[in-house]
Amino acid sequence: MDTYPPSPWLSGEPGGERAFPHPCTLSPRCLCDIIKHTSKQEGMGVKIRLTINGTPGEFDVEPGMILLDLLRASGFKSVKKGCDGASCGSCTVLMDGRAVLSCGILAAHANGCAIQTLEGLGSDLQLDPVQKAFLDGNAFQCGFCAPGLIMSTRELLDRYDSLSREQIRKHLSGNLCRCTGYEAQISAVEKLFEQRKGGVQDVREP
């Protein structure tokens, strides 16, 4: 079992041996092409290091294994497997603070990154403000899309001080929901930004 080399995007060394761009900067189509090519390589397992919800760990992965499958195999079932083609948003997680589609990222490419899933937000006794806002706003029906949408919203609140309703709609357009008309979900996110503006509560992640 080989150890995957350090990621040049983490070490800050431009033009490293791998010269891979950070997965956050790649388009879903590009990511899927990489995965299709790499998945043909078998018997070349590598060892990677990830910090998942604040807990560091080492994982043995095959070159073609996607981050989604690694997370679900590790017990993080909130990460949903929907389209399996980086187009529905149900597998969204935060990687180094950025919302990414885990079905479109090779697990090996996430080596050294910090991953956050829904399990890492809030607790049974104290919900994250995003979770509470969606709950109070009756924003879901079946709930399959809920984890991905919550994680995408979490990133928006951590990155932006204010967004208009149309900006919120545009940013969350990659998270598909087949049950609702999105209005309750958009309203819930809009309310979070309004609460921040009014100083009602700090909606950034604790």
Q: For the chain, 206 residues long, give each residue's pLDDT as a single digit of tens.
A: 444 444 433 333 333 333 344 455 555 555 555 555 554 455 568 899 999 999 999 999 998 999 999 999 999 999 999 987 888 999 999 999 999 999 999 999 999 999 999 999 988 889 999 999 999 999 888 889 999 999 999 999 999 999 999 999 999 999 999 888 899 999 999 999 999 887 655 555 54
DSSP 8-state class, residue 110? G
d(CA 43, CA 183) in angstroms, rounded, equals: 47
Report domain 129-198's class.
mainly alpha
Length of the chain, please? Answer: 206
Q: Say if residues 4 and 46 touch (Cβ distance below 8 Å).
A: yes
d(CA 38, CA 186) in angstroms, rounded, equals: 37
Per-residue b or e along 52-74, where b marks 16 or more CB atoms closer than 10 Å to that residue's CB: beeeeeebebbbbbbbbbbbbee
Residue range(s) occupied by CATH 1.10.150.120 in the chain: 129-198
Q: What number does CATH give the domain 2-119?
A: 3.10.20.30
DSSP run (H or E) holding 183: helix 183-198
d(CA 147, CA 167) in angstroms, rounded, equals: 20
d(CA 76, CA 165) in angstroms, rounded, equals: 31
pLDDT in tens, 148-165: 999 999 999 999 999 999
Q: What are phi and psi of 72, to 5 degrees?
A: -65, -40
Supply the pLDDT for residue 33: 56
Q: What are phi and psi of 94, to 5 degrees?
A: -100, 130
Residue range(s) occupied by CATH 3.10.20.30 in the chain: 2-119
CA 49 vs CA 12, 102, 203: distances in Å: 18, 16, 30
